[in-house]
Amino acid sequence: MSIDHPKIVDAIGTERATGDVDLTIADQRDWSDVVAHLRALQEKINSYLDFLESGDVFREYPAAKEKKMKILIIFRYPPPAGDAFVFLARAEEFVRERGFGLAYRVSETPA
């Protein structure tokens, strides 16, 4: 899946090292249109928050009960400096205020 399908959770799993639950967003888009990219990413993050806050996560993934949970964004292409990083910092704070984590990284697989 991708950020083009905002209502679908791309992947969910438990980190071996920590036992925390990651809800992964697979961001395959390039950054040719930064504004559209960030809007789509915001919609996807909001959808994930709805999934977490509604408790649907526990029905779909019972192993999440009593675990720390975070949204993990894996970018295929590195975010450009500027607006993208401002957005990510604000998104991280917004998600944290709701009791969850948010992290991101660039895929280790070349684009």
Residue 1 lies in a domain: no
pLDDT at residue 106 in the model: 96
- State mean pLDDT over 57-75: 96
Instruction: Name which of 10, 22, 17 is nearest 72 in CA terms.
Output: 22
Residue 23 domain flag: yes
User: Rounded CA gap, 29 and 40, in Å?
Assistant: 10
The answer to whether position 16 is within a domain reads yes
pLDDT > 90 fraction of the chain, expressed in percent and rounded: 94
Tally the domains of the chain: 1
Mean per-residue pLDDT of the chain: 95
In-domain check, residue 4: no
Q: Which of 108, 103, 109, 111 is nearest to 24 (CA)?
A: 103
Q: Which amino acid is at 8?
A: I
Q: For residues 97 and 95, what is the distance between their CA atoms, to the nearest angstrom?
A: 5
Is 2 a domain residue? no
**Structural domain of residue 37, as residue ranges?**
11-106
Query: Quick check: is 20 in a domain?
Result: yes
Q: What is the pLDDT of residue 110?
A: 62
Is residue 111 in a domain?
A: no
Tell me the average pLDDT across 19-31: 96
